[in-house]
Amino acid sequence: MDNEKIRQEIQQLRRELQRHNDLYYRHASPVISDQEYDALERRLRELEHAHPELAADDSPTARVGADSDSRFPSLPHSRPMLSLANSYDPQEVEAFVERVRRDLGEEEVVFTVEPKIDGVALAVRYRNGMLDVALTRGDGRNGDVITDNVRTLKQVPERLGDRWRDAFGPSAPDTFEVRGEVYLGLKRFAQLNRMRAAEGLEPLANPRNATAGTLKTLDVGEVARRGLSAFFYQLFPLDEGAEDPDSHREEMRIIAGLGLPANPFLRVATDAAGIMAHLRKLQEMRDDLDYQIDGGVIKVDLRRQQELLGATAKAPRWGLAFKYPAAEAVTRLLDITLQVGRTGVITPVAELEPVLLAGTTVSRATLHNWDEMQRKDIRVGDTVVVVKGGDIIPKILRVLPENRTGDEQPLPPPTQCPVCGKPVRSDPDQVAIRCVNPFCPAVLAGRLRHFAGRDAADIEGLGGKWVEMFLDKGLVRAADDLFGLTREQLAVLPGWGEKSADRLLASIARAGRRPWSARIFSLGIPQVGVTTARTLARHYDSIDALMRATVDELAELPDIGPIVAEAITGQMANPDFRAFIENLKRSGYFHEKEELEALAGAAEDGPFAGKTVVLTGTLESMPRNRAKALIEAGGGKVTGSVSKSTDLVVAGAKAGSKLAKARELGVPVVDEEAFLTMTGQKDVADGPA
């Protein structure tokens, strides 16, 4: 391969991995399996290794994926929160053991083996035996503050009581941090979905995504109701000069002694064969556990040796995640049904004979498109192998042609929309078949759902089956009709009353106050996802300005290429879409100038977006009115006294009663240094690796 080709492949891989990181960490909705992700990452690593001149600091191989979310304040981690190197191959376990021995220059190394919990990483700090702050991984350097949500977890005690000194012994540190994984138990997950079905709500797709979503919920009561669980596997003191536990086994002993959940499976081995035996045992136990694991974690036990081995920017050299291949099951493909999405794309869906796969029953799998179906030669009646890569929607890996009887039927691509019956069009470059009828009920429902979604206009009460009912009854056809709904119309609907009507109307009325970027996203412009909508919001200060944008101008913006630019201008030129926008303008959903918001310090993306903040004590680096201005520029509001509705307290030196009140109410508190970091006045200092 010539150099230019390699450069292109590297760039392509980086872009693709970045996109999958975003889907996984930010949107909790991965579209490929871990195994597929790891294969892409491995390929990129190989290319970068062979061509060091093409390496880059911001490559996904050098960075931990980010789950940062602007709705939560963020704080620097006490030490970077890294990831682990992955492997699927026993030979790599052997290579790992050899490398560790060689790097340490010691033959005698004790390794531990424990489950790799498929959940969401969490760091919790305790101060004087009391829960102080809880952070997500964020980008590995700064995490989002989710203390209030974590306080609702039954297994994460607010107060450690006597156990605290007992567990540590005489040298108990005043402050320490534990890290682990939050998850949703499988039984609890199934129970929640039964309750959701009874309420007409969409089911939660899988436990890991549900956990990520729950931790980022703004409604603390809802977090408590979900019933999350946790396992901790790391502990270190934060007191200056205090020493870390001597070994991983010791830290696990302290964690359990503190009354924090520690996984009971912790084995030791001194060679690769011993490690593999434990990993196999763990794999056998996998289906009997009440939580999902995606592999085992191998660690060097002694802290002294861990320190000698050190870490790369992304992962410690003392650990390795051995991942189990995606779970597979064999079943029969009973039928193929067609789903029509909001853009009109028709997706074939496999209806399967229900089969147990990695702890859940699978009865449907996506077939993506006809290209894919033809490539795999999938026919109705086939015996198929289904896989679930960790936590994504199951899919068909391959058919078993040896089981064919001759009666199996391939499904030809449709010529008519299965919902409205109008002729379809195939989209050669996107391998998609599309219903182009703008009034197709499936398309209308999809668009309305998109408009009402959490990242868009966030209209609660319009989820699940209600959209179809509204369309059926002719109450609405598109989102602009929502603004004309009345209490009288709604209150008489089956299952509705005045209360639910008022709730929906209030939620619709609030839509006009959603961040400018969320309102752009809500329009469902082809190719415009959350990230592109943010870019557009930063560069255009009103809907009129956006409607006037040209292809050349748009293509200049970061992350927008000619294809996306043309999709945007194409949509804007559509007369039906223009009429829709005019209606939304009349309803007050768009304002004369959104720039107020866009310019007043990027309120929506700011570190204090939507937060009520209290300043207390003396700040050393700036007068109080400057601190106030910084908070307001970051989208926050400053008030004088601490109450339950305070979101954050910034405590300077000699902070007194307000700080005490904040602690009592469990309001997150940051010190001056953290405040400077949040406001971008100071670079984040690197912690020890």
CB of 97 to ligand IVH, least distance (A): 17
Distance CA 344, CA 210 (A): 27
Smaller CB separation from ligand IVH, 84 or 452 = 84
Under the binding rule (CB under 6 A), the answer on residue 233 touching ligand IVH is yes
CB of 141 to ligand IVH, least distance (A): 13
- Tokens coding 439: 């009034």
Residue count (the chain)? 689
Among residues 116, 314, 388, 658, which one is catalytic? Answer: 116
Closest CA to 110 of 248, 244, 243: 248
Q: Which amino acid is at 209?
A: N
Contacts of 457 (CB under 8 A, 6+ apart): 451, 479, 511, 514, 518, 519, 522, 589
Contacts of 256 (CB under 8 A, 6+ apart): 262
SS (H, E, C) 338-360: EEECCCCEEEEEEEEEEEEECCE
CB of 254 to ligand IVH, least distance (A): 16
Under the binding rule (CB under 6 A), the answer on residue 567 touching ligand IVH is no
Under the binding rule (CB under 6 A), the answer on residue 389 touching ligand IVH is no
- Tokens coding 64: 């931990």
Kindly state the DSSP code that residue 683 receives in the 8-state scheme: P
Smaller CB separation from ligand IVH, 318 or 675 = 318
CB of 617 to ligand IVH, least distance (A): 34
Cα first-last separation, the chain = 37
CB of 116 to ligand IVH, least distance (A): 4
CB of 94 to ligand IVH, least distance (A): 20
Smaller CB separation from ligand IVH, 83 or 500 = 83
SS (H, E, C) 170-224: CCCCCEEEEEEEEECCHHHHHHHHHHHHHCCCCCCCCHHHHHHHHHCCCCHHHHH
Under the binding rule (CB under 6 A), the answer on residue 37 touching ligand IVH is no
Smaller CB separation from ligand IVH, 82 or 178 = 82
Inter-residue contact 197 to 465 (CB < 8 Å): no
> Binding string to ligand IVH for residues 249 to 288, with x set by CB under 6 A, is what?
----------------------------------------
Distance CA 38, CA 27 (A): 19
CB of 297 to ligand IVH, least distance (A): 4
> Binding string to ligand IVH for residues 129 to 168, with x set by CB under 6 A, is what?
----------------------------------------
Which residues, 172 to 231, sit near ligand IVH by CB under 6 A?
Answer: 181
> Binding string to ligand IVH for residues 618 to 647, with x set by CB under 6 A, is what?
------------------------------
Under the binding rule (CB under 6 A), the answer on residue 82 touching ligand IVH is yes
Query: How many residues in the shown chain lie near ligand IVH by CB under 6 A?
Result: 13
CB of 86 to ligand IVH, least distance (A): 7
Smaller CB separation from ligand IVH, 263 or 646 = 263
Tell the burial category of 507 from Cβ atoms under 10 Å away from its Cβ (0-12, 13-18, 19+). middle
Closest CA to 209 of 192, 187, 188, 184: 184
- Scored b (16 or more CB within 10 A) or e, 438-449 reads eebbbbbbbbbb
CB of 391 to ligand IVH, least distance (A): 13
Smaller CB separation from ligand IVH, 48 or 181 = 181
Inter-residue contact 316 to 309 (CB < 8 Å): yes
Under the binding rule (CB under 6 A), the answer on residue 84 touching ligand IVH is yes
Smaller CB separation from ligand IVH, 295 or 635 = 295
List the strands of the sheet with 130-136, edge to edge.
130-136, 120-127, 175-183, 229-237
Let me know if 116 is a catalytic residue: yes
The single residue among 11, 18, 83, 360 that binds ligand IVH, judged by CB under 6 A, is 83
> Binding string to ligand IVH for residues 294 to 323, with x set by CB under 6 A, is what?
---x------------------x--x-x--
Query: How large is the angle between the packed helices 186-198 and 207-215, nearest 10 degrees?
Result: 80
Q: For 191-317, list the strands marked E by DSSP.
A: 229-237, 267-269, 293-300
Given the rule CB under 6 A, which of 114-122, 208-216, 338-346, 471-479 is the region that contacts ligand IVH?
Answer: 114-122
The single residue among 47, 117, 568, 613 that binds ligand IVH, judged by CB under 6 A, is 117
CB of 614 to ligand IVH, least distance (A): 33
Residue with tokens 């029953």: 361
Distance CA 396, CA 374 (A): 13
Under the binding rule (CB under 6 A), the answer on residue 672 touching ligand IVH is no
Which residues, 504 to 563, sit near ligand IVH by CB under 6 A?
Answer: none
Distance CA 87, CA 91 (A): 9
The single residue among 20, 63, 116, 519 that binds ligand IVH, judged by CB under 6 A, is 116
Cα angle value 504/509/515 (rounded, 5°): 115
Closest CA to 366 of 382, 383, 387: 387
Given the rule CB under 6 A, which of 28-36, 81-89, 469-477, 498-506 is the region that contacts ligand IVH?
Answer: 81-89
Contacts of 273 (CB under 8 A, 6+ apart): none
Contacts of 550 (CB under 8 A, 6+ apart): 569
Given the rule CB under 6 A, which of 17-25, 80-88, 457-465, 476-484 is the region that contacts ligand IVH?
Answer: 80-88
Kindly state the DSSP code that residue 300 receives in the 8-state scheme: E
The single residue among 41, 48, 114, 139 that binds ligand IVH, judged by CB under 6 A, is 114
Inter-residue contact 115 to 283 (CB < 8 Å): no
CB of 115 to ligand IVH, least distance (A): 6
Name the residue whose CB lies closest to ligand IVH: 121
Q: Which residues are catalytic?
A: 116
Which residues lie near ligand IVH (CB under 6 A)?
82-84, 114, 116-117, 121, 181, 233, 297, 316, 319, 321
